[in-house]
Amino acid sequence: MNCSHRISGIYDYRTIQFLQELKINHFSFDLRPRSLNFIQEYRLIEILEKMQLGNIYLRFENEQSYIIERIYNNCLKAFGGRVLLELSGNIDIGFIKENKFPFLFVVNEKDLELIPVDELCVGHTFSYDFLQMLHLRGEFVAWVSAYYRKFNASSLNNIQILDIDWDSDIFPSLYEYFDFDLRNLPINGKIEVCYRNVDLNKISTNLKTI
């Protein structure tokens, strides 16, 4: 399968510069306060003001609508590239639709009714751990069939992102059912020297094995 990479949990501009040299132009910033990779809004804006064109994703979970709106609008002012929300949990999707914010929805639960159907939902991020769980339970094929029945032709136009780890062992049949646009890889201890200190050599080495 031939698809591009996205790096999530970015918290410093040095890492972005290095990744851009590797022709990676998709970056996700984690706005979830409990995340180890949480980035404060002022720091995010500082980074975006230095960046050139690219694609950024703003990861929110169980967040208040006014906070999402403020951060999204501030990012649009600071950055000239594409800005997408990436949402999960208890989010007021009605507010997102009302304000016409394009968004991705994170798929990490079996209930398809939790996934919104709307033209502003431009794609889905699939947790590999969730898909693997379905596979191990023998439920994967039935779930995927139900997914495509719900989204039918629109799924072919949506962005599909596979959220994996650096050492994920992908079950082969996964790629028979999905043609992912991006593989998401996280900033974590596997490619850090220490907490919040990215080892650029490890990123380069690990990307060659993905």
> What is the Cα Rg of the chain in Å?
17
The size of the chain, in residues, is 210
pLDDT digits (tens, 9 = 90+) for 5-37: 999 999 999 999 999 999 999 999 999 999 999
pLDDT digits (tens, 9 = 90+) for 62-90: 999 999 999 999 999 999 999 999 999 99
pLDDT digits (tens, 9 = 90+) for 109-151: 999 998 888 889 999 999 999 999 999 999 999 999 999 998 8
State the Cα–Cα distance between residues 75 and 91, nearest whole angstrom: 19
State the Cα–Cα distance between residues 35 and 193, nearest whole angstrom: 19
Domains of the chain plus CATH, in order, are 4-207 (3.20.20.70)
